[in-house]
């Protein structure tokens, strides 16, 4: 499974990329606003760090506006992935953009039927938001399983990009189901390495080594 960082903080992206754990990045208007920087500058800097897809979201809600903004964003770098909302105009833009060789991430997916429409529109990625479903007491991982089954039934190439991933348990669950990508906050990705028994084992090994009086 691929790991994307869900952030617009360049420092965190650089750190994860240097660790070799990063396959791409997702951003959205909220994350860009949180960074306090200019949208295009942030996307350009991220694209210079990460070789994989970098999602940049349009803000227009009509087809013409989406296509105009997408044309501008595509000029930033070859790995820019245009992010569009799961609406009729968004699906129309998705079809036009992917037909022109552009990667497209269809976002704000909350049902398997929506995901089916995105695949038919040629989406590169579909972004089901599992954490937000959990917030309304719906098991978001069930949606990942439903989409996986539908895509496998018809051999769709659209990759399932599990979004709103908040915990290590979320990561494990979507990996077991077969999501292609999990996009997570940097803290969640870095936290995956931790286990109390790993920490305890390292502490014991170091204590035993110290007793030998040796150095390396």
End-to-end CA distance of the chain: 36
Give the CA distances from residue 22 to residues 8, 18, 47, in Å, rounded to whole numbers and listed in that order: 14, 8, 12
Q: What is the pTM of this model?
A: 0.95
Per the structure block, which two tokens stand in for 43?
């996307």
Q: What is the pLDDT of residue 139?
A: 95
Round the CA-based radius of gyration of the chain to a whole number and report it: 19
Produce one character per residue of 145-173: b if its CB has 16 or more CB atoms within 10 Å, e if not.
bbbbeebeeeebebbbbbbbbbebebbeb
Closest CA to 91 of 69, 129, 62: 62
Q: Tell me what pLDDT residue 6 has.
A: 97
> What distance in Å separates the CA atoms of residue 17 and residue 157, rounded to the nearest whole number?
26
Crossing angle for the helix pair 63-74 and 88-99, to the nearest 10 degrees: 40
CATH 3.20.20.70: does it fit domain 2-212?
A: yes
pLDDT in tens, the chain (216 residues): 999 999 999 999 999 999 999 999 999 999 999 888 999 999 999 999 999 999 999 999 999 999 999 999 999 999 999 999 999 999 999 999 999 999 999 999 999 999 999 999 999 999 999 999 999 999 999 999 999 999 999 999 999 999 999 999 999 999 999 999 999 999 999 999 999 999 999 999 999 999 999 998
User: Which sequence positions are flagged as catalytic?
Assistant: 83
Q: What are phi and psi of 178, to 5 degrees?
A: 115, 25
Q: Do 80 and 74 touch, CB atoms closer than 8 A?
A: yes
Domain extents for the chain? Answer: 2-212
What torsion do the CA atoms of 99, 101, 103, 108 make, to the nearest 10 degrees? -10
Q: Given this model, what pLDDT does residue 75 score?
A: 98
Report CA 175 to chain centroid distance, whole Å: 13
């Amino acid at each position: 499974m691929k790991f994307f960082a869900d952030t617009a903080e360049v420092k965190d992206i650089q750190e994860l990329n240097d660790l070799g754990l990063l396959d791409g990045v997702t951003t959205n208007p909220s994350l860009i606003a949180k960074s306090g920087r200019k949208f295009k500058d942030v996307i350009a800097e991220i694209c210079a760090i990460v070789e994989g897809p970098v999602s940049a979201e349009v803000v227009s809600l009509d087809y013409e506006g989406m296509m105009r903004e997408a044309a501008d964003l595509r000029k930033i770098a070859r790995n820019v992935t245009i992010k569009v909302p799961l609406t009729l105009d968004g699906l129309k833009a998705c079809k036009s953009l992917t037909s022109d060789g552009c990667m497209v991430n269809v976002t704000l997916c909350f049902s398997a039927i929506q995901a089916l429409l995105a695949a038919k529109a040629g989406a590169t990625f579909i972004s089901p938001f599992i954490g937000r479903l959990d917030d309304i007491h719906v098991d978001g991982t069930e949606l990942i399983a439903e989409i996986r089954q539908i895509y496998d039934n018809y051999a769709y190439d659209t990759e399932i990009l599990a979004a709103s991933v908040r915990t290590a348990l979320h990561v494990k669950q979507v990996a077991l189901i077969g999501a292609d990508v999990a996009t997570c906050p940097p803290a969640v990705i870095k936290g995956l390495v931790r286990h109390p028994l790993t920490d305890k084992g390292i502490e014991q090994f170091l204590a035993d080594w110290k007793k030998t009086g040796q150095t390396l």
